[in-house]
Amino acid sequence: GNSVTQMEGPVTLSEEAFLTINCTYTATGYPSLFWYVQYPGEGLQLLLKATKADDKGSNKGFEATYRKETTSFHLEKGSVQVSDSAVYFCALISGGYQKVTFGTGTKLQVIP
């Protein structure tokens, strides 16, 4: 079956630090990959996505590259802000279905 593995959190960074949140996946076929973000007390928002190998998704300074050879989709940002504090979920959809398989989420806390 499909699965997504994310690095354990929480991750605490100082403002303007570089962020990497690792994500690897197992899936049948050729999945589409996503990063969702959940701010405190809110639902999930789509942050970025990539639908095929070597695609790079990017949004709000975040980016992630679909690496088929390493089955990875690591999230990066060059300079984090306090407002980036949230829980980040790596996810995939595969097999023509719309069901989303989520990772466990990684909490990011950015301190001034």
Q: Closest approach of Cβ 95 to other proteins, in Å?
A: 11
Tell me: does residue 42 bind other proteins (CB under 8 A). Answer: yes
Contact set for other proteins, span 59-98 (CB under 8 A):
89, 93, 96, 98
Contact set for other proteins, span 10-39 (CB under 8 A):
32, 34, 36
> Of 78, 104, 68, 95, which Cα lies nearest the Cα of 15?
78
Tell me: does residue 40 bind other proteins (CB under 8 A). Answer: no
Spatial CB neighbours of 96, under 8 Å, sequence gap ≥ 6:
none
- CA distances to 15, 61, 88 from 70, rounded to whole Å, are 30, 23, 21
Q: How far is CA 36 from the centre of its chain?
A: 6
Tell me: does residue 53 bind other proteins (CB under 8 A). Answer: no
Query: Interface residues with other proteins (CB under 8 A)?
Result: 32, 34, 36, 42-46, 49, 51, 89, 93, 96, 98-100, 102-105, 107
